[in-house]
Structure 1
Amino acid sequence: MTAPLTRILVVSADPAWRQQVAAGLTEAAHRLAPHPFVLHPLPSAPGDEALRHALSPQAGEDLQGVLIDHGAGGDAAAGEQAVATAQRLTQARPELSLYMVLEDDAAKLLVERLASDAVDGYFFRDEADLAGWCRILAAEVAEKSATPFYDALRRYVAQAKDSWHTPGHGGGDSFKASPWVGDFHDFVGEELLRADLSVSVPALDSLMHPTGVIAQAQRLAAQAFGARKTYFATNGTSTSNKVIFQTLLTPGDTLLLDRNCHKSVHHGVILSGARPVYLDSSVNRRFGLFGPVPLATLRAAIAAHPEAKVLILTSCTYDGLRYDLRPIVQMAHAAGIKVIVDEAWYGHARFHPGLRPTALECGADYVTQSTHKVLSAFSQASMIHVNDPDFDEHLFRENFNMHTSTSPQYNLIASLDVARRQAVMEGFRLLDRSLQLAAELREKINATGAFRVLELAELLPEAVQGDGIRLDPTKLTIDLSASGWGADELREELISRFNIQVEKNTHNTLTLLLTIGTTRAKASRLFDAMLRLAKERRTPLSYGRMPEAPRFSRLACLPRDAFYERGERLPVLDDSGQPNPALNGRVCCDQIVPYPPGIPVLVPGQVIEPAVVAYLARLLQTQRSIELHGLCEADGELRLRVLREAELARLPALQTDA
């Protein structure tokens, strides 16, 4: 494997000084060889030129650090420009290591006051030991690019220890030479099986009580993503959300939550015993898309519930819509409310200025990310980031250990370590490529005349048009209306004829997800397929709008109380195939989720109103591509589990509507 190119930007208002230092660092770097990487200094003037280098596709993609000259001779203007440059570079590329070259300690005090969080270290002009500077810069890059857990796992596997512990396949030996399952060994590979180890290996640390290489890897991840603490989760963001809920909420506590949240959040409500205040999402009925909660709704909910402990939002949504989070977080914090942001689909944003700010940068207390969705971790590998100043680490650890496996998959942990390294060291380059490919695909798909990538204004429901909502450009939502293709049919054509699997579809859209794994070849094949399908266009279909989901009604009891009752199961449709009137006024025991889009239309404890029953009946009768999660089947018909009257009577009632 070739050594990665590692550029260091040398910034100074003094052209002679920056050229001299760049030349000296280049010479010193060659003397350091052999080395895993060689530093390549790039001289630059401060201000706009330095920023252009940091963001350019050529130099910026390999940039790992910046050396900024504060100026000589007490030049106040040069010093101010140097600090301003440091601040601008940190704002654009926070993953870059930044060192300042100072004339004296007085300059250091000034820099620390203005940009202390951004600076990783200092050098002094009168100690121009360029060989020493080079060693320190190289050590900084080595530390930032380290993968403590992955390296330890690889070393242990290379030692070829005999396994007298779990797992039972013994490093893959049970598969070898088997006439029945030997092909599985060949399929997944020797190294993956040898790395499937047990907590019996002390050198690999413990996910439940990390003090060694896992702790080191988590510290590097916290630094990379801008968190005070980061925790690796091997059972997804779904479990991560539940861990946070159980840490922050006790039975009866009030929380405000976006109804558009992932179903794991609603499961967390049940497990925690909290009292939810459900906030209706905005809806784009034309395309069957759910958007963010309107800012006015959030403001009103915070004002109406001073007792609320937590607010949880999803940003960005499945379709790429993301909140203007900073004013929302500030508003919640002013009311004493902790903010959790489910950033499952936006874990890559930290590493490209076109995608920032992240939820952590906007002040969120807790952020969950599916590192596997948009970065290079394996499926199920996620991270929990914590910035809460009141964080109770002991309580969090107890809840984390309640949910995590005592036999975690070490390959998942290694993939988180490696994914973090890649995001820090080359995330800017890879995301820049993804954004370029997204822009090219948008233009080419629109040029087919049959398909059209929707713009932000078209995706936004009317209720949030003025709320500062932004769009993640790596998520493309394609309107099929003019093509004559049905969404289900087109999706099947793409997979069966062209070997292309898309992320999801509604009744008249397809969603494409571009990641750091998207290549130009893949983009070319996708466009070729779309162009061929466009030539087979038909008479444009008259799409019916999605049935409008009813607004949330009210809670009769806590969701946890309703869920754990036995209940009874009533048909959704009556004997004549109409909405069953026997459900009206009853209290639901389960979470009923039409998928897509995956937003609960009923939650445990919710009073069932006629509009809800009519909505479910219409979905069953007309929307064949919609799955209805949470219904049970008995005697050949779909049923809803509801509380019996006697069960409801003995449960504590809620005094006001939620």
Structure 2
Amino acid sequence: MENKQNYIDQIFSLTALRSDHWRHLLALSRKWCMGKTDLVNVRNSFEMLQPLEILHAYPGKKLMAKLSQELLEERKEAFASLVSRLSFSILARYYKEDPSEWLYHDDEDPVVNIASDTPHRPYFEVLIVAPDNSKSVERNVRILLNQRQKDDDFIYEPLVVHSFQDAFCAIAVNNNICAVAIFEGFDFASRLPAPQLNRVMSDLHIEEDEDHVALQLAIAIAEYRPELDIYLMSDQRPQDITDDPRSTCIRRILYAVEEPTELHYAILEGVRLRFETPFFDNLKRYAHRPISTFHALPIARGKSIFKSDWIRDMGEFYGKNLFLAESSATTGGLDSLLEPTGNIKRAQEKAARAFGAEHCFFVTNGTSTSNKMVLMAIAKPGDIIVVDRNCHKSHHYGAVLGGLYPYYVEAYPMKEYSMYGAVPLIAIKKALLSLKAEGKLDRVRVVDLTNCTFDGHVYNTRRVMEECLAIKPDLAFLWDEAWFGFAHFSPFLRPRTAMGAAANIEKWLHEPSSLQAYELQQAELGSEPSDETLLHTRLIPDPRQVRLRVYQTNSTHKSMSAIRQGSMVLVKDVDFYQIEPQLHEAIFTHSTTSPNQQLIASMDVARRQMELEGYGLVSNAIQIALDIRHQIKNHPMVSKYFKVLGADAMIPQDFRTSGFQDFLTPGTNWSDAAIAIRDDEFFLDPTRITLVCGTAGFDGTQFKNILADEFSIQVNKTSRNSVLLQSNINNTRSDVAQLMHVLLELTTRIENELSRSGAQGRSKFEQRVVSLMTDVPDLPNFSHFHDTYREDVNQKASVEGDIRTAFFKSWDLANNEYVGLFSEECDKRLKDGPPMVSAKLVIPYPPGFPILVPGQVISHEIINFMRKLDVKEVHGYDSSRGLQLLKLE
């Protein structure tokens, strides 16, 4: 254990490593009992724990004092026994259920309100920030403890700290905290060392305000963990504090000397409101009512299942509640997803608040449908959308269905790994400025981008939106965050989400400094700046003109505890009152009229979980990913054949102005990563791990199948020479151990095979590696739409195209022809013409991006790429017939 870890401010790793500290202390204490280590080592290890344990309610002062006494009096066996019990309780979370875990002797009275003979009740902790040695605060804490009853819905335990910095550390490292009560009069600085915390607080613009420390702490906590309920216990008149506009982050202000009882009930009510799941709660009640169904859903109530001689096993497998909770009715206590007025409406409102949006809509057909809904709502036929050519196919099909003209912008390529990154901001600005020069800016409705990409590239969403709004102030933005919904519950990733960035922009728009910054830049740019100047200037929008219109789609099922196809549309749009009827029509168009009840309920529950424990779950997912990176890099055998790509390999240096290289670069800590998240154009989602397998002689598809077929390890996305591992809120350290065990077994297998096959076998292996890692095809860019599908053929800069006409033209078989991919005719037409125009979206898996869209001219680069592809799955291409082309008139 490194000495640097005894700092109280190691807030980004101690959440996961706390149990490791205890296990290390346990190992030392056992050695101490056997005479294999001395008291000094044990004492040093124990002293490393103490700064961290003041930030947790368990074990608490009493048990920690007892542990210290056993150590001081050198009672080895007693010390080791108590350390063993505490470490196991923390690791297995026994203290949340068993009252005896809080006692030193079994004959003591419990110190917390946990009754072992009652049904499970969720446990949480209340952070109390108060001045040290305050009798009135001690009295209020005692009164608060006495208010707890065995019939309360939840169990809570207070955690008392005495400074601003200790409180900030506590909410950063302690996942159990669900509420904060702030008493006035506490100190700002911690008595323990916190140099890195000072840097983090500086990045968050937190400086001591002697006159408003309590309110300042409330604001800092709300920005860092907005899901927490904050209560201010004031010695002043509460009504005086509410006059301060900054106090809106506080749930309730109470007069400290007379309201400890009200604080207790307020705490329980606040958690209860987050715990409430309107649709799921109602569905549970509905399932246990006596219902007779006369509608078209035979499995409702399960009679056709459980009374059957032939399919009863289906009911036994899924359980009866699944069928009792099924119905196609939208009355009798249920609600309609298409026209919600009751519990679904309230569930969506709760989700909107939880994810920082103004509106939320549940979608039961996946984010593929969510994207089409949004595009249909915010753009009309003939409108232009600036869109990433490598985005999910739902965006391309959305353009087809809506009659939109896509103006494709290209992501930067990573040829050696057969994947694309993200679209540089300069390419997006260039598209907008070109359209402005052609007099088409009024037709541009939306910038449509994927955040984060499949491989983990995350945009600087705030910068993208601000600079685009400087060119066109009323642009709408669609951020496809199918893989990134969890990020709202990480304070470091949240600013890179669409809703997080929108909130920051909205705040900036109302600051006087925003107009000053805009006018200063305008004076510097002059009256007619060139496009070249604008491209290389970080543009500031006019806050008086900006119409902030942001849409975020997320696949709730991809990163949270929702059933497959659960998706949400999140909205923050100042013009939503105009768009709302259109969005409802889009929902009617694309949604099923028979949405799955269980799927809706799971989104309701997923929101509840993320509000109450999402911070800890996401922190753990990040730590799991860092553990995988660390173990692969540092294992002497595994690292010979496998490696994980860092930001330095996946993001060109020009897009990393902070200088951030990788999470595992020596000397790098989370505050460095926080600066990169704030400043860099692109950042790599730490939970997405690109594992290069080509250096082990496996192509991505082959390695994926080996993991699944031989070792029951499932991965999703592959490239020519890599697979993508994703850590999520479901993963544990056992999963990491299994992965490393499998990688070690495979590397051992490779070593054995090479040793047996001799020089010839090693040469063959090296050739295979060269083929996978070096002899890779160039990644083709979008060529252009054929003149038939362009409006302004005389304007070379005009690249948007009529994808809808091209798409539906192919439906008439007389308009189609086929040319073999490897045929002489294909080569001849590439050389001499006539041009070949694609009739289909052609998408190879992997890498999964469309290399052709309807109406696109097929280039040499595209044919060369397709000929080198060694994948079996290519959507839109029939190898037996060849490329499907549109005939030219």
Q: 464-473 or 304-313: which moved more? A: 464-473
Greater gyration radius: 2
TM-score normalised over the length of structure 2: 0.68
Equivalent residue, structure 2, for 1:650: none
Equivalent position of 1:457 in the other structure: 648
Aligned-residue Cα RMSD (Å) equals 2.2
Query: Aligned match of 1:349 in 487, 507, 510?
Result: 487
Residue 569 to residue 168, structure 1, CA distance change in 2 (3 Å): farther
Q: Measure the CA separation in 2 of the matches of 1:580 and 1:147.
A: 63
Q: Percent identity?
A: 31
Q: Tell me the distance in 1 between the aligned counterparts of 2:301 and 2:330.
A: 14
Give, in whole Å, the separation in 2 of the partners of 1:236 and 1:38: 36
Find the residue that maps to 1:61 and give its secondary structure.
coil
Q: Find the counterpart in structure 2 of residue 651 from structure 1.
A: none
Residue 884 of structure 2 aligns to a residue whose secondary structure is: strand
Cα displacement string for residues 262-307 of structure 1 (whole angstroms, at most 9, x for unaligned residues): 1101111111111111001111111112111012112222322333
After the TM superposition, which residues 544-623 of structure 1 pair with which residues of structure 2 at under 5 Å, given as runs? 544-555=774-785, 556=787, 557=789, 558-565=802-809, 566=812, 567-573=815-821, 575-576=823-824, 579=827, 581=829, 585-616=835-866, 618=867, 622-623=868-869
Tell me the alpha carbon deviations over residues 488-516 of structure 1, each in whole angstroms, 9 at most, x when there is no partner: 33222211221111122211111111111
- Helix, strand or coil at the partner of 1:387: strand
Instruction: Measure, in 2, the Cα distance between the counterparts of 1:151 and 1:593.
Output: 42
Q: In structure 2, give the amino acid aligned to 1:374.
A: S
1:649 aligned residue:
none
Aligned length: 628
TM-superposed CA distance for 1:400, in Å, is 0.8
Establish whether residue 10 from structure 1 lines up as the match of residue 128 from structure 2.
Answer: yes
The separation in 2 between residues aligned to 1:183 and 1:641, in whole angstroms, is: 49
Q: Name the counterpart of 2:725.
A: 512
For 2:557, give the aligned amino acid.
H
For the 8 Å contact 1:167–1:198, the answer to whether it is kept is: yes
Contact 2:844–2:871 (CA under 8 A) maintained in structure 1: no
Of the three residues 61, 83, 95, the one matched with 2:175 is 61
Q: Does 1:474 align with 2:604?
A: no
Aligned partners of 1:561 and 1:82: how far apart in 2?
62
SS in structure 2 opposite 1:384? strand
Trace 1:28-427 onto structure 2 (pairs within 5 A). 28=147, 30=148, 32-56=149-173, 60-71=174-185, 77-102=209-234, 103-105=236-238, 107-109=240-242, 112-116=244-248, 118-126=249-257, 128-305=258-435, 306-307=441-442, 308-334=444-470, 335=472, 336-357=474-495, 358-363=497-502, 365-391=550-576, 392-427=579-614
Match of 2:735 in 1: 522
Q: Report the secondary structure of 2:498's partner residue.
A: coil
Q: Please tell me the residue identity of whatever aligns with 2:140.
A: V
Counterparts of 1:83 and 1:581 in 2: how far apart (Å)? 72
CA contact (8 A) 1:498 1:529 kept: yes
Separation of aligned partners in 2, 1:414 and 1:348: 18
Q: Counterparts of 1:18 and 1:471 in 2: how far apart (Å)? A: 45
Q: Is the 8 A contact 1:149 1:213 kept in 2?
A: yes
Counterpart selection for 2:146 from 19, 24, 27? 27
**Aligned-partner Cα distance in 1 for 2:409–2:133:** 58
Q: Distance in 1 between matches of 2:828 and 2:121?
A: 68
Aligned-partner Cα distance in 2 for 1:393–1:269: 20
Note closer, same or farther for the CA distance 1:615–1:481 as it changes in structure 2 (3 Å cut). Answer: closer
1:492 is the counterpart of 2:705: yes
Letter of the structure 2 residue corresponding to residue 561 of structure 1: T
CA contact (8 A) 1:10 1:18 kept: no
Task: Report the AA paired with residue 409 of structure 2.
Answer: L
SS at match of 1:90: helix
> Contact 1:293–1:464 at 8 Å: present in 2 too?
no
Provide, for residues 59-82 of structure 1, a one-character-per-residue CA deviation record: whole Å limited to 9, x for no partner: x2111111223459xxx9544222
Which string of whole-angstrom CA distances, capped at 9 and with x for unpartnered residues, describes residues 75-95 of structure 1? x95442222212221221111
Partners of 1:586 and 1:385 lie apart in 2 by 40
Report if the CA contact (8 A) 1:591-1:600 is conserved: yes
Which moves more between the two structures, 36-45 or 378-387?
36-45
Higher alpha-carbon deviation: 97-106 or 588-597? 97-106
Distance in 1 (alpha carbons) for counterparts of 2:782 and 2:323: 48
Residues 596 and 626 in structure 1, CA contact (< 8 A), matched pair in contact too? no
Quick check: which one's helix share is greater? 2
Distance in 2 between residues matched to 1:197 and 1:250, nearest whole Å: 36
SS of the equivalent of 2:882 reads: strand
| Residues 479-488 or 557-566, more deviating | 479-488
The 8 Å contact of residues 234 and 381 in structure 1, kept in 2 or not, is answered as yes
1:434-457 residue CA offsets vs partner (Å, 9 max, x unmatched): 222222121112212221111111
The TM-score, its normalising length taken from structure 1, stands at 0.91
Q: Contact 1:584–1:610 (CA<8 Å) still a contact in 2?
A: no
Deviation at 1:179, TM superposition (A): 4.6
- Is the contact made by 1:46 and 1:85 (CA closer than 8 Å) also made in structure 2? no
Partner secondary structure for residue 562 of structure 2: coil
Deviation at 1:409, TM superposition (A): 0.4
Distance change >3 Å, CA 237–CA 456, structure 1 → 2: same
Secondary structure class of the residue paired with 1:250: coil
Q: Extract unaligned runs of 5+ from structure 1.
A: 647-658
Report the Cα distance in structure 2 between the residues aligned to 1:486 and 1:476, rounded to whole angstroms. 16
Write the deviation string for residues 410-434 of structure 1: whole angstroms up to 9, x where unpaired.
Answer: 0000000011101111111222222
Cα distance in 2, alignment partners of residues 67 and 106 from structure 1? 17
